[in-house]
Amino acid sequence: QKEVEQNSGPLSVPEGAIASLNCTYSDRGSQSFFWYRQYSGKSPELIMSIYSNGDKEDGRFTAQLNKASQYVSLLIRDSQPSDSATYLCAVRGNYGQNFVFGPGTRLSVLP
Amino acid sequence: GAVVSQHPSRVICKSGTSVKIECRSLDFQATTMFWYRQFPKQSLMLMATSNEGSKATYEQGVEKDKFLINHASLTLSTLTVTSAHPEDSSFYICSANLGSGGSNQPQHFGDGTRLSIL
């Protein structure tokens, strides 16, 4: 059973702080990793993808991947109230097209 | 811009009605599309994988006779909720990969369909 785990939260951070979202996965053969943001009542939207160990930065977002530890994280710098949403971690294996989604972490950025 | 279009965005209908939801890939061909269901404050649940020109692959516990999936072309998959009942009320979302199998392309989601059965 391939699993992706996330802390369900809610994770509350003050405006301007760094929000750190974590995700672990069970399939050691996983190759592609994605972070999605989902606002209440809306469908998920892609924020970042990462495929290699290390950090990948895009604006205020940084994705971090450690395949040895089977761990992927998302850092949001200078958090804004508009960042308040549920963040979904998705993992894709080496074969096929199916993704495995984590349950999501609810982030609340307090003004 | 959007790469996956889903229609309708909202449906309200009486119990016993069948409801069809369309998912279209825009400007790309999707041999595989995915259908998810999400109940309030719960995580995404994959219902089935829609394969162009062949039968859909359903996840365990999803009734294939209840949720009919047709993927007749490379840009269109439809989900029909047959004889819908109030417990079928949920948020249904489709997605598609831009790339072919084995690529690193992410899934892109449609805007979702909120189904309410009275």
For residue B41, the chain A residue with the least C-alpha distance is: A40
- pLDDT given at position B42: 87
- pLDDT given at position A37: 97
Amino acid at B59: E
Residue from the list A42, A49, A104 with its beta carbon closest to the beta carbon of B106: A49
Residues 42-101 of A with CB under 8 A from B: 42-46, 49, 51, 88, 90, 92, 95-99, 101
| Res. B25 pLDDT band, cuts 50 70 90 | very high
- pLDDT given at position B101: 53
Minimal Cα–Cα distance from B8 to chain A, Å?
14
For residue A92, give Cα distances in angstroms to A7, A73, B103: 19, 15, 10
- pLDDT given at position B63: 94
Of chain B, the end-to-end C-alpha distance in Å amounts to: 34
Minimal Cα–Cα distance from A77 to chain B, Å?
23
Minimal Cα–Cα distance from A94 to chain B, Å?
7
A101/B43 Cβ within 8 A: yes
- A103 Rama sector, left if φ>0, alpha if ψ -120 to 50, beta otherwise: alpha
Q: What percent of chain A has pLDDT over 70?
A: 95
For residue A57, give Cα distances in angstroms to A6, A13, A54, B109, B116: 21, 20, 10, 23, 40
Q: Tell me: the pLDDT tens digits for B38-83? A: 998 888 999 999 988 888 999 999 999 999 999 988 899 999 999 9
Cα–Cα dist A23/A79, whole Å: 19
Cα–Cα dist A52/A43, whole Å: 27
